[in-house]
Amino acid sequence: MLRVYNGTLSYYRAPALVDDIYDRWFRLNVIHDVDAAIVKVYIDGVLKFEAPGRGGTSHSFKCGVYAQNDDSHCMESRWKEIKVLKKCV
């Protein structure tokens, strides 16, 4: 899960991946290799984070906003040109 608090994009609660993420477009690529149990996060074409997967047998992507701690009355995210690719074996 990628989340934004106070303008900082983080993987779950830590680590921080990018500061000052509000009010700008950025390219986000996430590679989740379930078989290898690896997650990679790229921001604007640069690898910002790599970690072991968190297990589980069911995975999904959501492009949007969840209310979390100290949520505001105005929460917004904008997305364009979304592509979900699946490795065929």
- Condensed to tens digits (0 to 9), the pLDDT of residues 24-76 reads 999 999 998 888 889 999 999 999 999 998 877 777 777 888 777 777 777 78
Query: What is the Cα 79 distance to its own chain's centre?
Result: 12
User: Can you give the residue range of the structural domain that contains 32?
Assistant: 1-82
| Domain membership flag for residue 52 | yes
| Domain membership flag for residue 87 | no
What is the rounded distance in angstroms from the CA atom of residue 22 to the CA atom of residue 85? 27
pLDDT over 90 at 86, yes or no:
no
Structurally, how many domains does the chain consist of?
Answer: 1
Q: What global pTM score does this model have?
A: 0.81
| Domain membership flag for residue 56 | yes
Using CA atoms, how far residue 58 sits from 1, 11, 20, 44, 52, in Å, is 14, 19, 32, 28, 16
The pLDDT value recorded for residue 3 is 87
| Domain membership flag for residue 89 | no
Using CA atoms, how far residue 82 sits from 9, 20, 43, in Å, is 19, 22, 14
| Domain membership flag for residue 16 | yes
The pLDDT value recorded for residue 29 is 93
